[in-house]
Structure 1
Amino acid sequence: MQYIITAPAALNCTVKLPASKSISNRALIINALAGGNTIPENLSDCDDTDVIIKALKDNPKEIDIKAAGTAMRFMTAYLAATEGEHILTGTERMKHRPIAVLVDALRYLGAKIEYLGEEGYPPLRITGRKLWGRELHINGNVSSQFISALLMIGPTLRDKLELHLEGNIISRPYIDLTLWMMKEYGADAEWTDINVITVKPKPYTPRRYYIENDWSAASYWYEMMALNARTEDTVTLTGLMDNSKQGDSIARYLFSLLGVKTTFVKDDNNGPDMVKLKYSGHSVSHLEYDFLNCPDLAQTFVVTCIAKNVTFHFTGLQTLKIKETDRIEALKTEMRKLGYVIEDRDGCELTWDGTLCKAEKDNDLDVAIDTYEDHRMALAFAPMAFTRSYIRINNPHVVTKSYPHYWEHLDNIGVEIEQEE
């Protein structure tokens, strides 16, 4: 299936963003470990969160987490520390996403986990039991989801967990988000040195918990405002906090460099905070940034910069190669199809110096963007319609992984979406 997307002339709207997937998934695991009887409020309705909800509710013998990388990492640790035997599996892509770092760490704490296919990859057979807290050393440059998975089970261990993160620590805001949420549920967990996190065996306390809306989803509306580039238009986004712990909230500062101004507004009826976006008319001509702490924003900024003819040099992208797809190669391939040449270096940097090439088709409007079963490819490329007559997106339904109502929201603001089989 393919969508042909045509943008409206103006962009004036209020958007109810989806709840944060990152917070939802952590809250579900922590709440389950706390023995909470009430599920967190305002949960994300995306695919990744849905598989965790079903796994925790139905407790099936075999759990298929599909393409949800977060769910695979978090559920592996949760099941290892919880009584019962389960098989944890997913899509073919998931069966080629490495998990040995997490499995080795859990085994060191006493977990019983077997590989049912290729060594180091799902599917897994997990026999849950009470685990021991120990001093554990792990590379800081692995996925922060491995680290968060270990931290969240910390309060349930027989002794304290002392986690030493060696070398360069990536995606630190996601680790800090996990620690903050753990403490919200009563855990004793904190940084005790520059690279050491200590979690004491103090049980979680059940509580009501409300999920903030998603800054990652907000980034695509920032992108639309930057590309629409009309100073008279306003976009209002609901449920975003000025003091958010979400790492992707950095988007508001980065987009200020591309001309989008952010204003926080309190709701008159005591509802959630709102953000109002305006285009200032001023943008840098070159952008450099290290995405080590917010890699999920990389696709958004690659597409935005190229569509605005802003050259860039982005670093800290090493985790992009093990996401839903190899995002570095996917970005290079799809941009080349449109006539832009991105260079990569060592699998962790992307650069565009303005170099162009011949588009895949004589009329580049006939080029269709492949999404590689990766929601962020569709989410990030669709706003290019604001700088072109239209853009074609293949397999557009991949957005359900994190933003199920994306196309509906675009339709509501006047974006024309034509479907072709």
Structure 2
Amino acid sequence: MSTSIKLKRTSVLRGTAQWLPASKSISNRALIINALAGGASELHNLSDANDTQLMLRLVNSTDPIIDVEDAGTTMRFLTAYFSVTRQQKTLTGTSRMKERPIALLVDALRTLGVEIDYLEKEGYPPHRIKSFAGQKVQTISIRGDVSSQYISALMMIAPTLPQGLTLELTGKIGSRPYIEMTAALMKHFGAQCTLLENKVIVPHQTYKPAAFTVESDWSAASYWFSFAALADQAEILLPRLSLDSLQGDSKIVDIMKVLGVNAVLEKGLLKLTKTDHKKELHWDFTHCPDLAQTVAVICAVKNVTGYFTGLESLRIKETDRIAALQNELRKIGADLIEIDSEHWTLKPSAALPDSAYFNTYKDHRMAMAFAPLATRMDVEIEKPEVTRKSYPNFWKDILSFGIPAT
């Protein structure tokens, strides 16, 4: 593995991101639902991201110990899946995974009737699923402001429960598009659910096998919007994307209208070109937190003051992404200032250095968010292999655009 990758400044970009991955969010949900449906579905264009490849391998694993590495979605979905399918498993992961809370999901599963023990720190992996004697309750209350993945995990197993399941969501609902994505995929495989403002109702049903093709990943596409925004000249084509997408991160289209990128579908490809940008961006990232790092870097470079809300969940991702952003933005003269627990201001850079070295904190999104700075300066990115988590061929696509890399 390389310790770093160096990108030489390249200000004109034209080409196609041929290696844009399929959506890992959709892929991982499809794999869990397919397993609950008996495993007979034809699933096409599954993501080659490491998170999905882990899910593909682990969902049918007979091993008693399941190592999800750094894949949070895989950890949460498999915890619920193994619980209701009465599989005795120990789930573990990297040192960072052992710092990411799972108590809300475990508490919900315990309320249902699953016996789960923590093996090290209370409320955190690793944990052991011991048994599921049977469903004890039909309704569970769970916070909606921590992670939508807990909610999606419970939604997907709900049809298999004899009484179905009603989820009462308390507090602010974060990443709601991911909950809607889960409901849409459940419907595709024959299970209906009702989404209300603060409630999800899923009756007992049987999933049915169905063919399904996964669309490209909008989170991955967001980095090419950043390249287009920061380059002096750009015409970038992105394959297999739908403007009518299940993915909440398709909101990047609307954000980038403010930040100077126009996106239109032409002959099955999404074409990105430059346009005028505004001097301020006001945006609530509650429902698309994975876009925050990308957008912060763009604002920092284009002299756009950002007024952000909805960043709270970034603290429990692969790293504390707020702290990581603050550290790395300061290297280019910008800053992400916390006004209070719900409001942040992005202070843009007055002048960029000629070059900079960026740490990635074992976080794929940190690496890809700062890579587009290669349109303005020479950059060096620490541990480039972290992108395998969601976009294994990211650097290959960068090379195809003529950006020199060593």
Pair in the same fold by TM > 0.5 = yes
Q: 2:27 aligns with which of 24, 32, 37?
A: 24
Contact 1:101 1:146 in 2 (8 A): yes
Report the 3-state secondary structure (helix = DSSP H, G, I; strand = E; otherwise coil) of the residue aligned with 1:264: strand
Question: What is the CA distance between 1:68 and its match in structure 2?
Answer: 0.3
The alignment yields a C-alpha RMSD, in angstroms, of: 1.6
Q: 1:380 aligns with which of 369, 384, 389?
A: 369
Report the 3-state secondary structure (helix = DSSP H, G, I; strand = E; otherwise coil) of the residue aligned with 2:299: helix
TM-score (norm: length of structure 1)? 0.92
**Using a 3 Å threshold, how does the CA distance of structure 1 residues 332 and 159 change in structure 2: closer, same or farther?**
same
CA distance in 2, matches of 1:415, 1:350: 33
CA distance in 1, matches of 2:401, 2:170: 47
Contact 1:144 1:172 in 2 (8 A): yes
Question: What is the CA distance between 1:355 and its match in structure 2?
Answer: 6.8
CA distance in 1, matches of 2:370, 2:347: 20
CA distance in 2, matches of 1:128, 1:365: 58
Q: 2:62 aligns with which of 23, 34, 59?
A: 59
Question: What is the CA distance between 1:356 and its match in structure 2?
Answer: 6.1
Give the equivalent residue in structure 1 for 2:4.
Answer: 2
* Structure 1 residues 347-393: Cα deviation after superposition (integer angstroms, max 9, x where no partner): 54321234769x9xxxx4453110000000000000011122x1111
Question: Which segments of 5 or more consecutive residues in structure 2 lack a partner in the other structure?
Answer: none
* Structure 1 residues 118-139: Cα deviation after superposition (integer angstroms, max 9, x where no partner): 0000001113547425111111
* Structure 1 residues 308-362: Cα deviation after superposition (integer angstroms, max 9, x where no partner): 11111111000000000000000001111232232113454321234769x9xxx
Question: What is the CA distance between 1:225 and its match in structure 2?
Answer: 0.3
Q: 1:100 aligns with which of 75, 95, 103?
A: 103
Q: 1:13 aligns with which of 12, 15, 34?
A: 15
Contact 1:6 1:385 in 2 (8 A): yes
**Bigger mean CA offset, 204-213 vs 348-357:** 348-357
Matches within 5 A, 1:52-201: 52-129=55-132, 131-132=134-135, 134-191=138-195, 193-201=196-204
Contact 2:72 2:97 in 1 (8 A): yes
Q: 2:220 aligns with which of 201, 217, 221?
A: 217
Contact 2:235 2:273 in 1 (8 A): yes
Q: 2:322 aligns with which of 310, 324, 328?
A: 328
Contact 1:130 1:158 in 2 (8 A): no
CA distance in 1, matches of 2:89, 2:322: 34
Report the 3-state secondary structure (helix = DSSP H, G, I; strand = E; otherwise coil) of the residue aligned with 2:167: strand
Give the equivalent residue in structure 2 for 1:278.
Answer: 273
Q: How many residues align?
A: 402
Contact 1:342 1:352 in 2 (8 A): yes
Question: What is the CA distance between 1:112 and its match in structure 2?
Answer: 1.4
CA distance in 2, matches of 1:170, 1:393: 31
Give the equivalent residue in structure 2 for 1:253.
Answer: 254
Q: 1:410 aligns with which of 394, 398, 405?
A: 398
CA distance in 2, matches of 1:131, 1:187: 21
Question: What is the CA distance between 1:57 and its match in structure 2?
Answer: 3.4
Give the equivalent residue in structure 1 for 2:306.
Answer: 312
Give the equivalent residue in structure 1 for 2:385.
Answer: 397
CA distance in 2, matches of 1:387, 1:379: 15
**Using a 3 Å threshold, how does the CA distance of structure 1 residues 167 and 24 change in structure 2: closer, same or farther?**
same
Amino acid of the structure 1 residue aligned with 2:45: N
Report the 3-state secondary structure (helix = DSSP H, G, I; strand = E; otherwise coil) of the residue aligned with 2:398: helix
Contact 2:280 2:306 in 1 (8 A): yes
Amino acid of the structure 2 residue aligned with 1:275: L
Give the equivalent residue in structure 2 for 1:270.
Answer: none
Contact 2:230 2:372 in 1 (8 A): yes
CA distance in 2, matches of 1:326, 1:278: 33
Amino acid of the structure 2 residue aligned with 1:116: L
**Using a 3 Å threshold, how does the CA distance of structure 1 residues 30 and 314 change in structure 2: closer, same or farther?**
same
4+ residue segments displaced more than 6 Å:
none
**Using a 3 Å threshold, how does the CA distance of structure 1 residues 353 and 335 change in structure 2: closer, same or farther?**
closer
**Using a 3 Å threshold, how does the CA distance of structure 1 residues 387 and 347 change in structure 2: closer, same or farther?**
farther
Report the 3-state secondary structure (helix = DSSP H, G, I; strand = E; otherwise coil) of the residue aligned with 2:12: coil
**Using a 3 Å threshold, how does the CA distance of structure 1 residues 74 and 176 change in structure 2: closer, same or farther?**
same
Are 2:345 and 1:351 aligned? Answer: yes
Amino acid of the structure 2 residue aligned with 1:181: L
* Structure 1 residues 157-176: Cα deviation after superposition (integer angstroms, max 9, x where no partner): 01021111112111100100
* Structure 1 residues 278-298: Cα deviation after superposition (integer angstroms, max 9, x where no partner): 112x10011110000000000
CA distance in 2, matches of 1:299, 1:354: 14
Contact 1:12 1:235 in 2 (8 A): yes
Contact 1:30 1:152 in 2 (8 A): yes
Amino acid of the structure 2 residue aligned with 1:406: F
Question: What is the CA distance between 1:9 and its match in structure 2?
Answer: 3.8
Report the 3-state secondary structure (helix = DSSP H, G, I; strand = E; otherwise coil) of the residue aligned with 1:11: strand
Name the % identity.
46
* Structure 1 residues 173-213: Cα deviation after superposition (integer angstroms, max 9, x where no partner): 0100000100110002111x321110011010011111011
Are 2:231 and 1:228 aligned? Answer: yes
**Using a 3 Å threshold, how does the CA distance of structure 1 residues 39 and 52 change in structure 2: closer, same or farther?**
farther
